[in-house]
Structure 1
């Protein structure tokens, strides 16, 4: 099965599909032990690859190269990729979509922001005229073969949110995302105007949206949930703690004896899985 169709079937199955934000190969290696779907978050990638905030610094060849490395290590994982505004130009957006599909991405998110862009949960977002965004979106939809396309609006005015959500639902996009939604009541209002179109909910720690469980999201008829930053923010906290403890101990490494401690052996075993996923068991190679 193609990667796009595999994700599309997952989205259409009962319940809410969680996709975990990963920002580098190591975070993806850890996440793969818990979930079978990744979200390639622009927030996390900008932070990890450039050390910069998610305000438009990402160059599309860097994102494509990262997704290619992910697919090589994780041949079966769903990979939903944040491509921001398609890197401004509609033709570039189509080119990136075709490249991503060729290397095995499962889907992309295309937003209606205009430059200078912002994180979806930040203040000061500006959006393209709806007709201009729809023209770009439709070109992207025509350029894909089986790739899942999530149409995202970053509108902030109440009437514009509903107008755009309804318009996105009328396209051939597979899923609609209204980013920065502020309440359960707003999820219900958006759900009503988009009809039967699958709905995606974005959760980010410290963001504008409520913290909801998958059970709650299923009850609200949200078919997909992306978790943009749990790996990134957990790493931030853990690294800060570890280095603080190292400094306090005058540079002496702690003894890795407590349950859950990570040392060379555990780390290597984790990374070896990224090789073994491409090699079937010896028994599977024996013809009968």
Structure 2
């Protein structure tokens, strides 16, 4: 069974499927111990790979190379990949989709933003004319073989959100995402206009959308939840705290001790699991 088919079947199961945002191989290694699905977040990738905000700096060869490394280390995990606006040009979008499917990505998210693009939970987003986006989406859908395609709108006005969501649900896209939806009432309204089409909800700490549990999302009819930044933000806090403590301790490293603190042994064990996974699951 293809990676796309496996993810599609998982989405069709009862409940809301969680996909955890990862930004490098180490965060993916930690995520893999807890969840069977990953989301390759543009926000996290721009931050980790370039040290820049998610406003359009990502070069598609960098993203494809990262996904290739992920698939090598995690042969059985679901990998949903953020490809922004398809890197502007529809032909480039199709080329990227072909490459990602060839190396084993499970699915992609294609948005309708106009450049300069923004994080889906930022202010100042602008969207393409709907016909222009639908033409690009149709080209991507015709290109993919079995990969899951998520059609995403970044519309911000209620009437436009619902109109676009309804139009996206009428395509052959597998899933619809309205990014930056502001409240539960908005989710319900989107669910109503998208009919039976699977619905995806994006949660990001400090973002525009409400913080909801998987049970709450299931009750709202949401089929997939992507958690874009928990690994990135946890790393930010932990690294900042660790370095502040190192400074206070005059450069003396903490002792991991016998209780499982993270030191070279624990880190090596984590990475050795990736080797074992390649041998047993590929």
Q: What TM-score range do you get, normalising by the shorter chain?
A: over 0.9
Once residues 279 and 72 of structure 2 are traced to their aligned partners in structure 1, the CA distance between those partners, rounded to angstroms, is: 12
Once residues 230 and 115 of structure 2 are traced to their aligned partners in structure 1, the CA distance between those partners, rounded to angstroms, is: 27
Partner SS for 2:146: coil
Residue 164 of structure 2: aligned partner: 164
Runs of 5+ consecutive residues of structure 2 not aligned to the other structure: none
C-alpha displacement of 1:258: 6.5
Runs of 5+ consecutive residues of structure 1 not aligned to the other structure: 282-288
Superposition pairs of residues 129-140 of structure 1, within 5 angstroms: 129-140=129-140
Residue 39 of structure 1: aligned partner: 39
Once residues 243 and 258 of structure 2 are traced to their aligned partners in structure 1, the CA distance between those partners, rounded to angstroms, is: 18
Alignment root-mean-square deviation, CA: 0.9
TM-score (norm 1): 0.97
C-alpha deviations, 1:111-137, integer Å up to 9, x for none? 000100000000000000000000000
Residue 284 of structure 1: aligned partner: none
Partner SS for 2:211: coil
C-alpha deviations, 1:160-213, integer Å up to 9, x for none? 000000000000000000000000000000000000000000000000000000
C-alpha deviations, 1:204-224, integer Å up to 9, x for none? 000000000000000001000
C-alpha displacement of 1:280: 3.1
C-alpha displacement of 1:259: 3.6
Determine whether 1:101 maps to 2:98. Answer: no
Residue 285 of structure 1: aligned partner: none
Determine whether 1:242 maps to 2:242. Answer: yes
Residue 268 of structure 1: aligned partner: 268
Question: Are the aligned partners of 2:94 and 2:140 in contact in 1 as well (CA < 8 Å)?
Answer: yes
Partner SS for 1:262: coil
Once residues 133 and 200 of structure 2 are traced to their aligned partners in structure 1, the CA distance between those partners, rounded to angstroms, is: 19
Partner SS for 2:268: helix
C-alpha displacement of 1:260: 4.2
Question: Are the aligned partners of 2:260 and 2:266 in contact in 1 as well (CA < 8 Å)?
Answer: no
Residue 209 of structure 2: aligned partner: 209
Moved over 3 A (4+): none
Q: How many residues align?
A: 281
TM-score (norm 2): 0.99
Partner SS for 1:101: helix
